Amino acid sequence: MITTNKQIKIKNIHEFPVGIGQLIQIGEEEIAIFRLSNGNVRAIDNKSPHPKGGKLSDGLVSGEFLFCPIHDWKISLVDGVVQAPDQGKVKTYPVEIVGNDLFIAL
């Protein structure tokens, strides 16, 4: 990984399969990266906001939403907000694609 201007280069965008979460570790943070079928890439904290937790990188993607693999909570990949009737929020991280390289800001 390369760090430039508070952004960290993760890897080539083509190393992320479409619709499948990938876990990356940056320091103490576990981040789930999702390459979506519409071309967008989203990055969120890997821990479910449900009190019992869960790894979001294993969740199912539908459009710009992720379904928690354990509790089936619907979570926006855009802003991290859990959809009603459930409540909570997941931290999101800004990402940028430059050429074929994916960068994330912490």
CA angle 64, 66, 72 (to 5 degrees): 145
pLDDT in tens, 31-90: 999 999 998 999 999 999 998 888 999 999 999 999 999 999 999 999 999 999 999 999
| Rounded CA separation 74/72 (Å) | 6
Residues 6+ apart with CB under 8 A from 31: 23, 24, 25, 43, 44, 45, 46, 93, 104
Residues making up the chain, counted from first to last: 106
Q: What is the pTM of this model?
A: 0.90
Q: How far is CA 17 from CA 10, 20, 33, 36, 67, in A?
A: 14, 6, 10, 9, 17
Q: Which domains does the chain have, with CATH numbers?
A: 2-105 (2.102.10.10)
